[in-house]
């Protein structure tokens, strides 16, 4: 398979409700949709997941454009790709920039699956026909608003509630939440807002019977997380610290966590995600699939990945309506009694709503990877 044509489409979508984490607040999402066309005219789609500011990782929407435009797309020229697992290697002359690579690789996985008349889930070796769904709730100024939001999502059927915390918005909040929701499966995510100096506060989290605490310490603090996990009963889940299989191996060997949140963008693609999943499965580490406020295209990739058998815990990939008034896929992603039914159509399994996509598009750029080679498989 050759890639003949790539389109980078810059898109802006407004969130229904501002989303606040320990690192800042978001009201809109700027990202790129990547469209790749193969030598048979099949089209695959990928989505970039970085934000406009480098708060979560070092990448941004603009650095991703730069990496794709100046370096990554060019590396596909003349490449005869027999399987998407080869993409990691093809893009490897460029260091890191995982989210840029993942979006391109994801589009190629989609086109590969479509070419073979398979769903992306099947192409990945996924087994589940439904996936369990949780929801991530941002920091709220007002506790009554937060309790009301939790109530709504519990009523809708989400299987676990994730609450964002930060220093000063933690123990008190959880006292209130547990009073009203004593048995709801709840976890918290600190997005690196604490250090080991906060250990006394973090230890107090043990009283709330949380499923896990996600990324309490810095993204470079794999060693400190090992020390913290020794002092906590609550399992630590790593997010920002894990950029590769190697990171996952190190964290597991050092007992820095008991659970890993896999995000396709953060680890550089579906191939690396699957490797981390397989390694965790072999080492008794639970995994679940995280989210980055994706539109339906990114959501579809997350859903396909989550069909792998050892995604044992509900992920953050909620329905389209959790963030968007209107999504760019049709049908939209829907959550039904706590699960998403995995689509069975080829590739990502959702069609593009071209009208909606056009409405949200700010600009497009086309790349013709001139096909001087013989156009065959």
- Known catalytic residues are 164, 263
As a whole number of angstroms, the distance between CA 171 and CA 173 comes to: 5
Contact (Cβ atoms closer than 8 angstroms) between residue 49 and residue 99: yes
DSSP state of 162: E
b/e for 47-83, b at 16 or more Cβ within 10 A? Answer: bbbbbeeebbbebbbebbbebbeeebbebbeeeebee
What is the bridge-based pairing of β-strands 329-330 and 351-352? antiparallel
As a whole number of angstroms, the distance between CA 172 and CA 302 comes to: 33
- Residue 293 interaction partner, one of ligand OSB, Mg ion, none, beta carbon < 5-8 Å per kind: ligand OSB
Residue 317 CB, shortest distance to ligand OSB, in Å, is 7
Closest to ligand OSB by CB, 56 vs 109, is 56
Going along the chain, which residue ranges are E strands? 3-21, 24-38, 43-47, 130-132, 135-137, 161-164, 186-189, 213-214, 236-238, 259-262, 286-289, 329-330, 339-341, 351-352, 361-368
Residue 60 CB, shortest distance to ligand OSB, in Å, is 13
- 6 pairs with which residues across the strands? 36, 367
Residue 219 CB, shortest distance to ligand OSB, in Å, is 11
DSSP state of 169: B
Which residues are at the interface with ligand OSB (CB under 6 A)?
A: 21, 56, 136, 189, 191, 239, 290-293, 316, 318
- Residue 229 interaction partner, one of Mg ion, ligand OSB, none, beta carbon < 5-8 Å per kind: none
Mapping DSSP to helix (H, G, I), strand (E, B) and coil, where does residue 49 land? coil
- Of 38, 43, 59, give the one whose Cα is nearest residue 9: 43
Residue 216 CB, shortest distance to Mg ion, in Å, is 10
Closest to ligand OSB by CB, 81 vs 262, is 262
- Residue 273 interaction partner, one of ligand OSB, Mg ion, none, beta carbon < 5-8 Å per kind: none
For residue 340, report the phi and psi dihedrals to the nearest 5 degrees.
-110, 130
Closest to ligand OSB by CB, 55 vs 66, is 55
Closest to Mg ion by CB, 105 vs 239, is 239
Report which residue's Cβ sits closest to Mg ion.
Answer: 239
Report which residue's Cβ sits closest to ligand OSB.
Answer: 291
Residue 47 CB, shortest distance to ligand OSB, in Å, is 12
As a whole number of angstroms, the distance between CA 11 and CA 28 comes to: 10
Residue 37 CB, shortest distance to ligand OSB, in Å, is 28
Which residues are at the interface with Mg ion (CB under 5 A)?
A: 189, 214, 239
Closest to ligand OSB by CB, 216 vs 290, is 290
Closest to ligand OSB by CB, 17 vs 175, is 17
Within 69-169, residue ranges assigned H as helices are 87-90, 98-115, 120-124, 143-156
């Amino acid at each position: 398979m050759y890639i003949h044509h790539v389109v980078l489409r810059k898109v802006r979508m407004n969130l229904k409700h501002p989303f606040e984490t320990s690192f800042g607040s978001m009201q809109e999402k700027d990202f790129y949709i990547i469209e790749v066309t193969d030598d048979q005219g099949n089209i695959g789609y990928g989505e970039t997941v970085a934000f406009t500011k480098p708060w979560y990782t070092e990448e941004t929407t603009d650095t991703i454009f730069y990496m794709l435009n100046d370096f990554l797309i060019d590396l596909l020229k003349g490449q005869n790709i027999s399987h998407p697992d080869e993409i990691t290697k093809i893009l490897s002359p460029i260091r890191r920039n995982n989210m840029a690579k993942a979006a391109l690789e994801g589009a190629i996985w989609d086109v590969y699956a479509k070419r073979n008349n398979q769903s992306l889930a099947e192409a990945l070796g996924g087994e589940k026909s439904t996936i369990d769904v949780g929801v991530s709730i941002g920091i709220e100024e007002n506790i009554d608003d937060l309790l009301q939001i939790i109530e709504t999502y519990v009523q809708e059927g989400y299987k676990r509630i994730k609450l964002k915390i930060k220093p000063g918005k933690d123990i008190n909040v959880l006292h209130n939440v547990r009073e009203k929701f004593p048995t709801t499966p709840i976890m918290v995510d600190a997005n690196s807002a604490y250090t080991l100096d906060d250990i006394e506060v973090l230890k107090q989290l043990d009283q709330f019977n949380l499923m896990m605490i996600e990324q309490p310490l810095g993204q470079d603090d794999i060693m400190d997380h090992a020390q913290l996990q020794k002092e906590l009963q609550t399992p630590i889940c790593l997010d920002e610290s894990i950029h590769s299989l190697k990171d996952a191996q190190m964290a597991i060997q050092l007992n820095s966590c008991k659970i890993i949140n896999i995000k396709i963008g953060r680890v550089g693609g579906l191939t690396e995600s699957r490797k981390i999943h397989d390694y965790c499965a072999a080492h008794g580490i639970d995994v679940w699939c995280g989210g980055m406020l994706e539109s339906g295209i990114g959501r579809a990739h997350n859903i396909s990945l989550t069909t792998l058998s050892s995604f044992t815990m509900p992920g953050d990939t909620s329905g389209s309506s959790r963030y968007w008034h209107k999504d760019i896929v049709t049908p939209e992603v829907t959550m039904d009694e706590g699960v998403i039914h995995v689509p069975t159509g080829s590739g990502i399994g959702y069609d593009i709503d071209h009208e909606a996509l056009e409405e949200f598009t700010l600009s497009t750029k086309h790349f013709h990877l001139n096909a001087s080679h013989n156009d065959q498989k």
